[in-house]
């Protein structure tokens, strides 16, 4: 039933993609999470661990069974009724209940169940961490695709402007106020810009391809991305410090929480191993009856007459086990040290990632501001050069240089802006512990 529901949801996603022409960031993340096979495999591992936990808990419950048997006897045998030898053919059957209940086992099974429970909780945090990583990757590729799309549009606008200048230059040549070389120089510039536009368009399409691959979805370049995503991603007002994020991230990140939970689980594993040093006490009980054809009473009268039961306690005191339990305890303690070391590694990794994120956040913020100033200055310079070029006081080379400088500045602005927005979202993730 679950598989049918998942298949229906997947078909709905595919049909909705075919019906729409624009993909939002939220939709891309949702599709990526639904299609990610690694996350699904991790969830299956979680299901398996939960089954193992239920199996461990069931071992602490009593075992109750009912047995019945039928036999045919011939030759010399002992009559169970008179305890004398007989030599005849007879048949008999018996039935009964058997109960075995563990009363005390040094709390080994209880601690094993707690260990599995902690490991399951850690696994849940691992799934959260994997989902966050996928969200981060999809967000990065989505913003990169938006940036490349904006660069492609700038390249197209650059070509349109050059075409207008070519038309204007041809009119000026026809009027005898400009040299024909100007037209050829502008056409050469248009050819260069056309080549650049092809490259930027290919970069934009390849960014979409990478995005769809992250979503594990067939590529459809006809689908557009939603530039309104930028509306909620404004420039940060001030710089950040790594120390301001580290303490928050330590408590919020699922990777750190998972490492802590595994330490707790390893402690329960030590207690479970030490429990094997202690005696084990169990309760045994049985209740049975039998029938034999050597007796003349009716079947149910014999069953009623032979009813009997017993109960007792069984105590097992470990005296010497060849050092097996001691080695089990030692191995469990080593596993705890490994878990503690992995926690330290995770914390160090988080610290390094935060330091890198904050540094990139602050650097791209400065680059964004500088790029805005650069575009403003280059726009004014290009506007002045265009006036001079139209008036015939500036050469084509000077005009093209100013145009290229403006194009470079616009590209720097787009690149700095989107890089900063990526790192802003990464910093926000460390602040909240969730994407």
pLDDT digits (tens, 9 = 90+) for 291-307: 888 888 888 888 888 89
The reply to whether 219 falls in a domain is yes
DSSP letter (8 states) at residue 309: E
The reply to whether 31 falls in a domain is yes
Decide: helix, strand or coil at residue 239: coil
pLDDT at 414 exceeding the cut of 60 = yes
Which pLDDT score is estimated for 146? 93
Least confident of 4-18, 266-280, 418-432: 4-18
Which pLDDT score is estimated for 238? 59
Q: Are residues 73 and 134 in the same domain?
A: no
What CATH number has the domain bearing residue 113? 1.20.1600.10
Question: How far apart are the C-alpha atoms of 112 and 269, rounded to whole Å?
Answer: 6
Which pLDDT score is estimated for 116? 92
pLDDT at 362 exceeding the cut of 60 = yes
Contacts by 118-121 with C-beta closer than 8 Å and gap 24+? Answer: 118/261, 118/262, 118/264, 118/265, 118/268, 119/49, 119/261, 119/262, 119/265, 120/46, 120/49, 120/50, 120/53, 121/261
Q: Which of 379, 400, 388, 350 is nearest to 248 (CA)?
A: 350
Domain that holds residue 33: 22-61+106-278+325-432
The reply to whether 16 falls in a domain is no
Q: Are residues 89 and 206 in the same domain?
A: no
Q: DSSP characters for 149-166?
A: HHHHHHHHHHHHHHHHHH
Q: Residues 309-361: pLDDT tens digits?
A: 999 999 999 888 878 889 999 999 999 999 999 999 999 999 999 999 989 99
Q: Which of the four pLDDT bands, split at 50, 70 and 90, describes residue 28?
A: very high
Q: Are residues 312 and 212 in the same domain?
A: no
pLDDT average, residue stretch 151-168: 90
Q: Residues 189-212: pLDDT tens digits?
A: 999 999 999 999 999 999 999 999
The reply to whether 3 falls in a domain is no
Q: Are residues 296 and 267 in the same domain?
A: no
Q: Are residues 31 and 154 in the same domain?
A: yes
Q: Are residues 229 and 333 in the same domain?
A: yes
Question: How far apart are the C-alpha atoms of 346 and 354, rounded to whole Å?
Answer: 12
Which pLDDT score is estimated for 14? 47
Number of structural domains found in the chain = 2
pLDDT at 13 exceeding the cut of 70 = no
Q: Are residues 170 and 297 in the same domain?
A: no
Percent of the chain with pLDDT over 70: 92
Mean pLDDT of the chain: 87
The reply to whether 2 falls in a domain is no
Q: Are residues 161 and 213 in the same domain?
A: yes
Q: Are residues 244 and 368 in the same domain?
A: yes
pLDDT at 7 exceeding the cut of 50 = no
Q: Are residues 355 and 400 in the same domain?
A: yes
Q: Are residues 294 and 192 in the same domain?
A: no
The reply to whether 269 falls in a domain is yes
Which pLDDT score is estimated for 18? 46
Q: Which of the four pLDDT bands, split at 50, 70 and 90, describes residue 17?
A: very low
Q: Are residues 125 and 190 in the same domain?
A: yes
The reply to whether 8 falls in a domain is no
Looking at per-residue pLDDT, the higher value among 369 and 294 belongs to 369
Looking at per-residue pLDDT, the higher value among 84 and 380 belongs to 380
Which pLDDT score is estimated for 231? 58
Question: How far apart are the C-alpha atoms of 435 and 425, rounded to whole Å?
Answer: 8
pLDDT average, residue stretch 171-192: 88
Q: Residues 165-177: pLDDT tens digits?
A: 899 889 888 888 7
């Amino acid at each position: 039933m679950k598989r049918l529901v998942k298949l229906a949801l997947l078909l709905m996603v595919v049909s909705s993609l075919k019906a729409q022409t624009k993909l939002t960031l939220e939709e891309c993340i949702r599709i990526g999470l639904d299609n990610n096979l690694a996350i699904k495999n991790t969830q299956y591992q979680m299901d398996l661990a939960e089954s193992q936990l239920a199996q461990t808990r069931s071992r602490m419950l009593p075992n109750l069974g009912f047995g019945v048997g039928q036999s045919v006897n011939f030759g010399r045998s002992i009559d169970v009724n008179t305890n004398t030898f007989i030599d005849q053919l007879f048949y008999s059957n018996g039935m009964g209940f058997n109960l075995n209940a563990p009363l005390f086992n040094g709390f080994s099974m209880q601690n094993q169940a707690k260990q599995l429970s902690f490991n399951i909780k850690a696994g849940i945090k691992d799934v959260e961490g994997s989902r966050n990583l996928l969200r981060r990757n999809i967000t990065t590729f989505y913003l990169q695709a938006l940036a490349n799309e904006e660069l492609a549009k700038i390249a197209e606008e650059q070509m349109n402007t050059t075409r207008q200048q070519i038309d204007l230059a041809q009119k000026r040549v026809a009027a005898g106020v400009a040299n024909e070389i100007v037209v050829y120089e502008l056409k050469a510039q248009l050819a260069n810009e056309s080549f650049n536009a092809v490259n930027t368009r290919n970069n934009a399409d390849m960014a979409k391809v990478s995005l769809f691959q992250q979503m594990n979805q067939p590529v459809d370049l006809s689908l557009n991305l939603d530039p309104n995503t930028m509306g909620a991603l404004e420039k940060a007002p001030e710089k950040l410090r790594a120390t301001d994020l580290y303490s928050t991230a330590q408590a919020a990140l699922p990777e750190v929480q998972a490492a802590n939970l595994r330490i707790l689980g390893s402690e329960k594993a030590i207690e479970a191993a030490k429990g094997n040093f202690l005696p084990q006490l169990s309760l045994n009980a049985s209740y049975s009856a039998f029938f034999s054809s050597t007796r003349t009473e009716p079947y149910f009268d014999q069953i009623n007459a032979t009813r009997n039961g017993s109960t007792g306690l069984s105590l097992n005191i470990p005296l010497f086990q060849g050092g097996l339990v001691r080695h089990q305890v030692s191995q469990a303690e080593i596993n705890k040290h490994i878990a503690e070391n992995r926690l330290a590694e995770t914390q160090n990794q988080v610290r390094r990632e935060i330091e890198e994120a904050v540094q990139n956040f602050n650097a791209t913020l400065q680059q964004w501001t500088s790029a805005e100033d650069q575009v403003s200055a280059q726009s004014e310079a290009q506007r002045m050069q265009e006036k001079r070029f139209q008036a015939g006081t500036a050469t084509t080379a000077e005009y093209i240089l100013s145009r290229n400088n403006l194009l470079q500045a616009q590209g720097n602005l787009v690149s700095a802006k989107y890089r900063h927005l990526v790192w802003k979202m990464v910093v926000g993730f460390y602040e909240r512990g969730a994407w």
